[in-house]
Chains A and B, each alone.
Chain A
């Protein structure tokens, strides 16, 4: 009798504990969940709903039609816009990856003093003390036909005519993206590398590995979480941008979001909404693919 009671009591306690643990977990995710639902989930549902509306001039007509999606998928324009966006993303990703990896590697493995390490890391963030727009726009007088760089080249006699491709071109767009976004690659890679036991590197050296092999076979695999996180930042930032493209290409190049923003400013919300839904799905797929390659969760907890 008493034994049974004890058992039952223990069971209840255990159950209570379990509930408590569950409650705690729920409470832990609650703030982020609430933020995501209110600021992403609900608006996204509205956007998805509007994407099936019809429209005429500025008026939205609530119906359920697939025309916006049909128009989107039938148009060559969509493909071209995505190709442009993906081209920018790929090039910017490659450059920021090389720069980010190199800088992080230098900071983690070459700088011995912790103070200097932190100091140099802070230096990387200096550009972020001014606004994004200022950092981008300051390239314009620098790269223009009569800009600082062209004047210098002409004064040095390297070129006779100013180089036009420097500004309002793909070149300018990529420079601005790299400048704006490299830090998002440096930080996660730095974070991953900092967790590598230096002993492993020494062991590889002792086993006769060249410096290059240490990087490719040891450092690179061990920092793949950081690389994955950095890549997610870069891809979402570049795929979702239109402002940098607009300003730096002089309005002569467009990505998915540029077209979307033209539609919005012409008060054509339903096709813009359809375009937004497709973009979210595609970016989500890209992120999913990265997460599939690298189990970020395991790497972070492990």
Chain B
């Protein structure tokens, strides 16, 4: 699953210096995480940690910065979801840090693939967004538990536990890293009226001009949001449908497809950008950076906030089970570095959130913070992490502030119990 384009560009020196200057926390921050007395600089310089994850998360620049700050080497490798799962299971020794979406924890629990992180080894847990630590919003409201709410897979009773703990424990299955709220992307210039509900995905008004993502587990959720919003069906749990619910969902999708509702089912980031930019499609499932990519071609595109809420997703990192001794110490130090701010600042500028926002804030200018997290209009042009123009001054982030967006999650990316059945039905839909 490629949520972001692989970027080969280098950080310009100037940006780096600027980031360093604005974030006075850099020196202090890295000094803090360096404080482990057991680790001797001469020993750690030979240590190399290999992190494998999605292209939107295992970003080469993050590995480079970590190596610089920590004194040992961090190598980033990217892999698609299925390739990554395969490697985690079949060649676990080729990976040191697993970087997966939270729902991958269902695959890994009780199989001795990764090792849990004792809360005491991770210094940012009490500063982590409560969505992860408690499954709650700061005001105490419960976050929707449809699909894989990270909290559901966050805690373990013991290292070899076969299931996740229902309550917070002292063992974390992974450290939350990047996450976001996904919704539909639209072309306001071609639609010319407000879009407020997921049901518009199935509205015949846009016949032949809508698209959904071709990843079955995500595509079916976007469809379920639309179906529920139209009132055809009320799901018990959109993230874990029963066979009957899958049948009904696929039935409705097949009818819509036969009526010519969809222009395409896209499977890559670029396809989604091109469908939207060319105007073949005016309303579709999209990842946030794809919306920005369309806008960067001077074509209006809007990541529209919808009444029913967002489809959330999140990633986490965890040390692999085979790590021990010095390498494991380095891994814990790396996890502490990971959310100490630099990485959070970097991914914020790609539109993703950090699980420890106050650390990320140190690596963003006040204007950047206001734009990405506070939902305020940008005072100056907003740049991506590589220094390219992302948004012009005056623009406000689609959907608004962090809590306007993350505070309204309807369901989470997941893997269903009936996954096997669902994939078969999905194939029927595609071939119908």
Interface size for A (C-beta < 8 A) is: 36
| Interface segment, one of A97-105, A139-147, A188-196, A222-230 | A139-147
Chain A nearest Cβ from B128, distance in angstroms? 28
Q: Which of A168, A246, A251 is most buried by chain B, counting CB atoms within 10 A of its CB?
A: A251
Q: Which residues of A (111-160) have their CB < 8 Å from a CB of B? A: 140-141, 144-147
Is B424 within 8 A of A75, CB to CB?
yes
Judging by beta carbons under 8 Å apart, are A259 and B280 in contact? Answer: no
What is the chain A residue whose CB lies nearest that of B107?
A: A58
Docked complex: B199-240 residues within 8 A CB-CB of A: 208, 211, 214-217
Q: Indicate if the CB atoms of B427 and A259 lie closer than 8 Å.
A: yes
In the complex, which of the residues B82, B214, B217, B278 contacts A146, with contact meaning CB atoms closer than 8 Å? Answer: B278
A252 with B264: in contact, given A57-B415, A80-B431 (CB under 8 Å)? Answer: yes
Q: How far is the CA of A262 from the CA of B423 in the complex (A)?
A: 8
Range of interface residues on chain B? 35 or more
The residue from B107, B257, B278 contacting A252, defined by CB atoms under 8 A apart: B257
B32 nearest CB across to chain A (Å): 38
Q: For B278, what are the chain A residues with a Cβ–Cβ distance below 8 Å?
A: 141, 144-147
From known contacts A75-B424, A251-B264, infer whether A164 and B82 are also in contact, taking CB-CB under 8 Å.
no
Asked whether any CB of chain B lies closer than 8 Å to the CB of A268, the reply is yes
Across the interface, do A267 and B82 meet the contact criterion of CB distance under 8 Å? yes
| A266 & B430 in contact (Cβ 8 Å cutoff) | no
B326 at the interface (CB under 8 A from A): no
A236 within 8 Å of B (CB atoms): no
A80 to B254 CA separation, bound complex (whole angstroms): 14
User: Does chain A have a CB within 8 A of B279?
Assistant: yes
A55 and chain B: residue at smallest CB distance: B420
Q: Is the interface of B mostly helix, strand, loop or mixed?
A: helix
Which residues does chain A contribute within 8 Å of B395, judged by CB atoms? none
Q: A84 to B420: give the CA distance in the assembly, Å.
A: 23
A145 lies within 8 A of B431 (CB): no
B419 proximal to A (CB < 8 A)? yes
B267→A252 contact, CB < 8 A: no
Contact flags A61-92 to B (C-beta < 8 A → 1, else 0)? 00000000001000111001100100000000
Partner of A250, one of B264, B279, B424: B264
Q: Which residues on B sit within 8 Å (CB–CB) of A167? A: 280
CA gap between A146 and B80 in the complex, in Å: 32
Query: Which residues does chain A contribute within 8 Å of B89, judged by CB atoms?
Result: 58-59
Is B86 interfacial (CB-CB < 8 Å)? yes
A204 within 8 A of B: no
Instruction: Contact check, A250 vs B430: say whether CB atoms are below 8 A apart.
Output: no
Q: Are A251 and B82 in contact (CB-based, < 8 A)?
A: no
State whether the Cβ of B85 lies closer than 8 Å to any Cβ in chain A.
yes
- State A164–B280 Cα separation when bound (angstroms): 9
Instruction: Write the chain A residue with the least CB distance to B214.
Output: A251
Contact yes or no, B431 A254, CB < 8 A: yes
State whether the Cβ of A258 lies closer than 8 Å to any Cβ in chain B. Answer: yes
Cα separation A206 to B420 with both chains bound (whole Å): 68
- A84-B431, A251-B214, A262-B430 known; A146-B279 Cβ under 8 A: yes
Interface centre among A59, A146, A252, A268 (most CB of B within 10 A): A252
Can you identify 22 A-B contacts, CB atoms within 8 angstroms? A55-B420, A57-B419, A58-B107, A77-B431, A80-B432, A81-B427, A144-B278, A145-B278, A146-B279, A168-B263, A246-B267, A250-B262, A250-B263, A251-B214, A251-B265, A253-B431, A259-B431, A262-B427, A264-B82, A265-B80, A265-B81, A266-B216
Footprint of A on B, CB under 8 Å? 80-82, 85-86, 89, 106-107, 208, 211, 214-217, 257, 262-267, 271, 274-275, 278-280, 415, 419-420, 423-424, 426-428, 430-432
The 5 lowest CB-CB distance pairs between A and B, nearest first, are: A250-B264, A251-B265, A254-B431, A259-B427, A254-B430
